Amino acid sequence: MPRKSRLCPVGYPVHVIQRGHNRQIYFVSDEDAASYAHWLAEGAKKFGVQVHGWVFMTNHVHLLLTPQQPEGVSGLMQYVGRLYVRHYNYKHIRSGALFEGRFKSSLIQDNHYFLTCLKYIGLNPVRAGMVTDPANYRWSSYKAHAHGGQAKLWTPHFLYLAMGQSPGERQKSYCELVAQTTVADAVESIRDSVNKGLILGTEKFRAQFEALTGDLP
C-alpha cells in the first residue's frame, strides 16, 4: 500500500515530530542539541522554511514550521537528519539508523489552533516532569516567546507578533496566555493529528484541503 503523502503546503504552519528509533535517546548532551539546532537553522535558510517553535526532548523533537517553498519541510528534515546522524554516530562511536523512519507532521490552521500548538510544544518538558517552569528548559522556544531569548533559528509567527506593539508587550501577553489557559483538552487532538498526519483545524478548513488532496479523513 502506498504511503500517504504529507500535506505541507507553502505558507501554512506544520507541526512536525521526529522520534528516535525505538524511542532511543539522541540528545545525550547540550553539545548534541546545539549541533541539531545549528543544522536546523542552516537548513531552514537553505530550504526556505520558517521555524516558529521547537522543543528538543531527549528522544524526540517537536517543531512548528512554515514552508516558503514546495517540499521545503521534507528538504529541511532530510538535511538535518543526514548531518546530525553523521555527527552523532561519529561522536558516540556507533552506526546505523538513529531516527524512527519518516518524520510525522500535521497541518495547523492559523488563529487559536496555531497558538494552542505553540503552547503544547513549549510545555512539553513540564508534562514530562523535567521542569516545573518551561522557562527553565534550555532547548525550547518558550523563552524566546515569553522572555525575549535570542535564537538565530527563530522566525516569530504573525499571530505572535500581533500579541503586542512591542517585544515587551508580546512577551507579557504570551505569558498571560500560557498561564490563563490550558492545552489539556487539546493534547489528545494534537497528538492524534500529528501521529496520523491529520489536519488540526475546523471542519471547514479540513474540507478545503480534502477537496484538494482527496484522501484526508
pLDDT tens profile 5-47:
567 788 999 999 998 887 788 898 999 999 999 999 999 999 9
Question: pLDDT by residue (tens digit) across 144-175?
Answer: 999 998 899 999 999 999 999 999 999 999 99
Residue 18 forms beta bridges with which residues?
A: 61
Q: Helix (H, G, I), strand (E, B), or coil: what is residue 45? A: helix
Single-letter code of the amino acid located at 98: L
**In the CATH hierarchy, which top-level class contains the domain 14-195?**
alpha beta
* Percentage of the chain modeled with pLDDT above 70: 91
Phi, psi of 8 (to 5 degrees): -130, 65
**Comparison of pLDDT for 186 and 80, the residue scoring more:** 80
Question: Quick check: 217 pLDDT over 50?
Answer: no
C-alpha 57/C-alpha 140 separation (Å) is 9
Mean pLDDT along residues 177-184: 73
The predicted pLDDT at position 211 comes to 66
Query: Long-range contact list for 211-214, CB < 8 A, 24+ apart?
Result: 213/5, 213/7
Cell of 146: 515569553
Handedness of CA 26, 30, 63, 119 (dihedral sign): positive
CA angle 71, 52, 211 (to 5 degrees): 45
Q: Is pLDDT of 182 > 70?
A: no
Residue carrying the nine cell digits 516532569: 129
- Average confidence (pLDDT) over 73-94: 90
More confident residue, 124 or 189: 124
Cell of 74: 521534507
Global pTM exceeds 0.85: yes
If you average pLDDT over residues 120-126, what whole number do you get?
92
Report whether pLDDT(2) > 60.
Answer: no
Residue 189: predicted pLDDT: 76
- As to burial, measured by CB atoms within 10 angstroms (0-12 exposed, 13-18 middle, 19+ buried), residue 119 is buried
